[in-house]
């Protein structure tokens, strides 16, 4: 209810009571009407002034305070544009909206806490596995294996070296993600031919694909140049990570196909495999650090578990989008956009 209407009802009640008392004592209708009108006007003016200067202004200040807090502004700022003719109703709505916002923030904090616990657990596991392996190999060598069985000792040293390489690779990927998130790695945006870059990347990956018995297929129309604007080295890293991922999870004698699709102002690049695919319930999390849909097989295959997360950070650093779609048992497609030159 508007405060002016409330003041009118209170004033009318008071004036009516006063006029009725006068009528009971004097019995004069003229005096009754005169007192009713005068008392109504005077009472309304006084109460309006009280409400306006004391209650209304204070409630308006509370409204502005809530609004400032919600917008994250300095509490000392006075934002006249947020004043309302009906502050009580406005405050009620603001408090409801604010409560919803806080509930959403709490839910996000809980989700982030869950993600943090999972991340710490995963990174602990990722580091412990090679470290324990290295420790075991070195302790065995220290126990005299070098003199007793030199050939096996050399094999142990080789395995220890591979685990050290895995740690180095893992630390390097973590450092790169950290720099990408903080913007410490500037992007060298330039114009280049994405068709040529894909050919170069396939040439680098062909030996790895052959070992896994996976064919790399790229057949652009007419093989004409397609010019884009991006950091060439970073986009090549994205391609390497996606192709490498498709080779790891592709099936034997399968294929990985790279495709280009022109859009209005962008080029869509897709990397598709016909491997085992990913269940739909996992798709929303595949770009998380260390997230693996199949823990045992993923670690057996190798890798840091950070490749897709790096892909996401690089693409988003270009203010572009990356997506994934997959069908279990059929295959997976990763796609990202690039700005046309």
Look over the chain and give the mean of its residue pLDDT values, rounded to a whole number: 78
Q: Answer whether 63's CB lies under 8 Å from 87's CB.
A: yes
Q: Residue 221 has what pLDDT?
A: 82
Which tokens hold the place of 266? 């962008």
CATH number of 189-340: 3.30.565.10
What are the residue ranges of helices labelled H in the chain? 3-26, 29-50, 57-71, 87-140, 146-148, 150-182, 194-211, 232-249, 295-301, 307-317
List the domain boundaries for the chain: 3-85, 100-182, 189-340
Query: pTM of this prediction?
Result: 0.59
Instruction: Give strand pairing partners of 336.
Output: 269, 322
Q: Nearest 5 degrees, angle CA 337-CA 339-CA 341?
A: 145
Number of Cβ within 10 Å of residue 126's Cβ equals 20
Can you give the pLDDT at residue 55?
A: 65
Whether the pLDDT of residue 87 is over 60: the answer is no
Q: How many residues does the chain have?
A: 341
Between the alpha carbon of residue 305 and those of residues 99, 171, 237, the distances in Å are: 38, 12, 15
CA–CA distance, 258 with 245 (Å, rounded to integer): 13
What is the pLDDT at residue 81?
47
Mean pLDDT of 144-163: 81
The yes-or-no verdict on residue 158 having pLDDT over 80 is yes
Model pLDDT, residue 256: 93
Q: 100-182 in CATH: which number?
A: 1.10.287.130
* Least confident stretch, 100-104, 203-207, 265-269: 100-104
Q: Give the pLDDT confidence of 54-80 residue by residue, as tens digits.
A: 666 666 666 666 666 555 555 445 444
Whether the Cβ atoms of residue 216 and residue 243 lie closer than 8 Å to each other? yes
Residue with tokens 């009528």: 23
pLDDT in tens, 169-186: 778 777 777 777 777 678
pLDDT surpasses 50 at 280: yes
Highest mean pLDDT among 136-140, 217-221, 249-253: 217-221
- DSSP annotation of 144: I
Of 61-65, 99-103, 293-297, give the range with the top mean pLDDT: 99-103
The set of residues, in sequence order, having a beta carbon less than 8 Å from that of 271 and lying 6+ positions away, is 239, 242, 243, 246, 256, 257, 258, 333, 334, 335
Q: Which residue has the tokens 């409630």?
A: 59
Q: What is the pLDDT of residue 63?
A: 64
Q: What is the mean pLDDT of residues 45-58?
A: 68
Q: What is the per-residue pLDDT for 62?
A: 65
d(CA 312, CA 337): 11
Predicted confidence (pLDDT) at residue 85 exceeds the cutoff of 70:
no
**pLDDT for the residue numbered 257:** 94
CA distance 160 to 153: 10
Residue 339: pLDDT band (50, 70, 90) is very high
Residue of 149 and 47 predicted with greater confidence: 149
**CATH topology identical between 100-182 and 189-340:** no
How many degrees, rounded to 5, is the angle at CA 213 between CA 330 and CA 258? 55
In the 8-state DSSP scheme, what is residue 26?
Answer: H
């Amino acid at each position: 209810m508007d405060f002016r209407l409330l003041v009118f009802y209170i004033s009318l009640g008071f004036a009516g009571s006063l006029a009725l008392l006068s009528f009971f004592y004097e019995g004069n209708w003229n005096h009754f009407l005169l007192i009713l009108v005068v008392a109504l006007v005077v009472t309304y003016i006084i109460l309006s002034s009280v409400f306006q200067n004391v209650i209304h202004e204070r409630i308006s200040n509370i409204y502005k305070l809530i609004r400032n807090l919600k917008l994250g502004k300095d509490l000392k700022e006075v934002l006249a544009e947020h004043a309302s003719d009906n502050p009580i109703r406005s405050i009620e709505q603001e408090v409801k909206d604010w409560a919803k916002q806080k509930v959403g923030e709490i839910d996000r904090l809980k989700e982030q806490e869950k993600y943090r616990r999972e991340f710490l657990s995963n990174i602990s596991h990722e580091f412990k596995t090679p470290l324990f392996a290295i420790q075991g190999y070195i302790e065995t060598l220290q126990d005299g294996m070098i003199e007793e069985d030199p050939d096996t000792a050399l094999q142990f040293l080789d395995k220890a070296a591979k685990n050290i390489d895995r740690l180095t690779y893992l630390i390097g990927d973590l450092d790169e993600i950290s720099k990408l998130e903080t913007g410490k790695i500037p992007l060298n945006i330039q114009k280049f031919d994405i068709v040529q870059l894909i050919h170069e990347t396939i040439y680098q990956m062909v030996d790895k694909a052959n070992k896994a018995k996976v064919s790399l297929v790229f057949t652009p129309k007419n093989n004409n140049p397609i010019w884009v604007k991006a950091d060439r080295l970073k986009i090549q890293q994205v391609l390497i990570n996606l192709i490498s991922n498709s080779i790891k999870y592709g099936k034997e004698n399968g294929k990985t196909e790279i495709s280009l699709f022109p859009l209005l102002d962008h080029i869509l690049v897709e990397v598709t495999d016909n491997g085992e695919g990913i269940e739909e319930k996992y798709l929303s999390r595949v770009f998380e650090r260390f997230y693996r849909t199949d823990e045992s097989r993923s670690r057996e295959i190798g890798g840091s578990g950070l490749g897709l997360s790096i892909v996401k950070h690089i693409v988003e650093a270009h203010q572009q989008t990356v997506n994934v779609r997959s069908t279990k048992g059929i295959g997976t497609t990763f796609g990202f956009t690039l700005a046309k030159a």
